[in-house]
Every structure is written in structure tokens, then in C-alpha cells.
Structure 1
Amino acid sequence: MLYILTVCLGIIIGLIMKGRISNLAEIKIKKVWLIILAFLIQAVARIIGAKGIQMPAESAIVIQLAVFLLMAACFWFNRYYSGMVFIGIGYLMNTVVMAANGGRMPVSEKVLAATSISHFIDNIKTGKDIKHVIMNSGTKMKFLADIIPIPGFLGSMMQVVSIGDLVILVGIFILTVELVTGRKIFGTNDRKQDFGADDIK
């Protein structure tokens, strides 16, 4: 829900800034297949974990490294957008804490237990969820972990987030505004006043 609301807010602000919805149809993010491939890798890994198939401990690190490289490449190709830079920074923050904890994102058991998805605790502890790990005394960089609860309907799709996730949301908002208005929010439009389909394909 947070992602949907963020995009909707970005569209509204973009329109207030004299942007056009039609601009969205003209935009083509460079190398978008890199992001699609990254999500497919994560999806397959989660399906395998959900089926109870045990994977080597090192697999989490390998998977996250592959996903990181794919995402980082896409962010680099689209770095002209201010919003994409923020998304990249947020994703890097998440990747750093995961790399420091065996390739998995630490999550607060206390915070998770207070949500409607508390049943995921068992999945994490049994290894079915290969993306997360319950925080403990040995967890590194706890401040970057999933420790922030999202209340009410706002958390209907992601009830516990990290600082990196919030930075990503800021990036999505900025990127949406940029796409609707056809211009950068930060910096100058040194490549084109209006970056449309001819600019990013």
C-alpha cells in the first residue's frame, strides 16, 4: 500500500507542478529488464523456500549479490533521474546490512510479532524465508534492519520496513514527479529540458 500511495502522491504533486499524465506513456526506463530479472531471481528463491526446500547457507549471499549487481546496473543506466539516485541509495543501504548478516535482512522479532504477519516468524526461523533472519545479539548494523513498524492500512503490504525502504519510497515519489513533469527535481536538465522517449530508451 505504501508503494501505491507514494506513486499516487507523486502523480498528484506532478500534476500540481503542471505535469501531464500523458508523459508517463512516453517514458521508457533504460535496461528495465535488469530489474525484471532481479525480481524473478528473488521470486524463484522465495518459492523454493516456501516449498520447504533447504538451500545451502551460502546461497543467500550469492542470490543477493546477483540481485544487487543487476539492480545497481539499472540504477546506473538511469542515474540521470534524481529519484533513481535515491532509490539506489536506499537499495544500497539494504544491501549493506544484508551483506553484513550473511546475505539476509535482519528483522525485529518483537516488531514482527506485533503485526498481522507474525506467522512469518516461523518461516524465517525454519529457513523457508531465505531473505530474512531474526535479529539477535550478534546482528550487525541493527539500525539499518527491518525495525520500523508501519501502522494500519499503510502497512497492508509491508508492515515492517527499514530506513533503506523509506529512502526508496522517497526515491519513488521523486521519480514519479519527475516522470509526470518531464524534468528533474534536483540539479539541472543538462541533457534535455524534457526527457521523453527519445532521451531514455
Structure 2
Amino acid sequence: MLLIDFMVISFIIGFLRRGNLKGLTEIPMRRLELIFLSFIIRYAPLFLKGPFKEFASNYIMAISIISYTLLLSGLFSNWHIKPLRAAAIGVLMNFLVIVANGGKMPVSLWAVDAAGLQEFKSDLFNPDYLYHTALTSSTRLALLGDIIPLPRPYPRPRVFSIGDLLMAAGIFFLVQDAMLKKKPSSGKIIGR
């Protein structure tokens, strides 16, 4: 997941810039429980087996709508934190393309090849594959799908969306601001 990579990179850069983790505890976040619950609902089906996995596959649209609605509610509750605005817009972009395509993120086959992930292609045509599907001529909002390849020498090649890029940038700047800046008198972390 690109977001995790960017978080790790942002921590490393924050430390190299002589930042510290204390600022992360002072980010004035609201409604964190919605964000955590959204991740549980979104990713718990990956660990299901047998009839439970089949149930998740049959109701992937509902799972996607519920998890993304919770995540967006949590992020928009934090609109006062400027870097999270980019993350919220990125999540909204992903939500739109996922809902427009039956609850799954469409993935460009060209981008999969360009990233060197050919072994992943067959999964994109499997209807039981939970969160992704192949981008085809019938895909809606294709520009918002996973269309950007990130090949080697990047250590973890992947394909991601414009929404993913906005989310990652928002989290990166949030961590940088929190690790390196002092709180202004208003108590808000200043974004870029």
C-alpha cells in the first residue's frame, strides 16, 4: 500500500531533518474512531475464509460504501488540518471510482506490465478477487483508477491512482509538519 510506504518515508525524512515524534501526539485530530473502524471494515474481509469470504465477495459494494463513508467522515471532520485536505480529496476520488465500478478499484493492465507485476494480472479477472478488477473499455471514471506504475528500482513495485498519490502526499506533509513545526498559538498544525 502506497500510503504505508509514504508514512515510513515521511518518518525517515522527518528524523533526517531532526524532527521528533512528540509533535504527532499533538495533531488536533477528531473522530479517529471513524478512521480506525473504516480500516477494520475495509481490510477484515482479506482474512476471511470459506463462506465468510464468499459473503464478503457478494457484498463488496456495501463493504466499500460503508468503509469509505466512515473514512471520509473522519477525514472531513479534520478539515482544519490542511495536509489532511489532500488526503480527504484523494480518498473521495478513490471512493468515486470504486463505487462507479461495482465496489472494486479498476487497475490498468498496461500499468501492471510497466510495474513488472504480470503475476498479478490473472487476479484482476477473478470475480472473487475482493478489491481490484481489470480496467477495460467499459470501466467508468478510468482516469481515477490505478493507472500509475511504480516499477523497480523502487523496492516494492506497485500500481496506484491519482487519489492514492493525493492521500500519500497529504499524510507525508502532515507527518513532516508535525515532526518539525511548533504548534502555533491557535493549537493547529499549519499545513503547506
TM range (shorter): 0.7 to 0.9
- Tell me which of 13, 34, 47 is aligned to 1:9: 13
Residues in 1 aligned to 2:56 and 2:47: alpha-carbon distance in whole angstroms: 15
Call closer, same or farther: CA 1:10–1:100 in 2, change over 3 Å. Answer: farther
Detail structure 1 runs of 4+ shifted over 6 Å in the superposition. 49-52
SS of the aligned residue for 2:133 comes to: strand
Distance, in Å, in 1 between the alignment partners of 2:39 and 2:121 is: 23
**CA offset at residue 56 of structure 1?**
7.0
Distance 1:50 1:32, change over 3 A: farther
Alignment-derived partner of residue 143 in structure 1: 143
CA distance in structure 2 between the partners assigned to 1:32 and 1:193 by the alignment? 21
Distance across 1 between alignment mates of 2:188 and 2:74: 17
Q: Does the CA-based 8 Å contact 2:45-2:56 persist in structure 1?
A: no
Q: Give the C-alpha shift of residue 121 in structure 1.
A: 2.4
Taking structure 1 as reference, are residues 40 and 69 closer, same or farther at Cα in structure 2, changes over 3 Å only?
Answer: same
CA RMSD of aligned residues (A): 2.8
C-alpha distance in 2, partners of 1:73/1:83?
A: 16
Paired position in structure 2 for 1:59? 59
Q: Distance in 1 between matches of 2:119 and 2:50?
A: 13
Query: Following TM superposition, by how much is the alpha carbon of 1:58 offset from its aligned partner in structure 2, in angstroms?
Result: 5.5
Q: Secondary structure at the match of 1:119?
A: helix
TM-score, normalised to structure 1, is 0.77
> Unaligned stretches of 5+ in structure 1?
184-188, 197-201
CA distance in 2, matches of 1:89, 1:109: 25
| Secondary structure, aligned partner of 1:133 | strand
Aligned to 1:23: 23
Conserved? CA contact 2:10–2:172, under 8 Å: yes
State the one-letter code of the partner of 1:167. L
**One-letter code aligned to 1:84:** L
Shift of the 2–137 alpha-carbon distance from structure 1 to 2, 3 Å rule, reads same
1:170 aligned residue: 169
Aligned match of 1:40: 40
The yes-or-no answer on 1:193 pairing with 2:192 is no
- Distance of 1:138 and 1:99 partners within structure 2: 14
Calculate the TM-score normalised by the size of structure 2. 0.80
Structure 2 stretches of 5 or more lacking a match?
none
CA contact (8 A) 1:2 1:155 kept: no
Deviation at 1:113, TM superposition (A): 3.4
Percent of residue pairs identical = 26
Q: How many aligned residue pairs are there?
A: 184
Query: 1:34-67 CA deviation, whole Å, 9 max, x = no partner?
Result: 2221111122222237999434766121011111
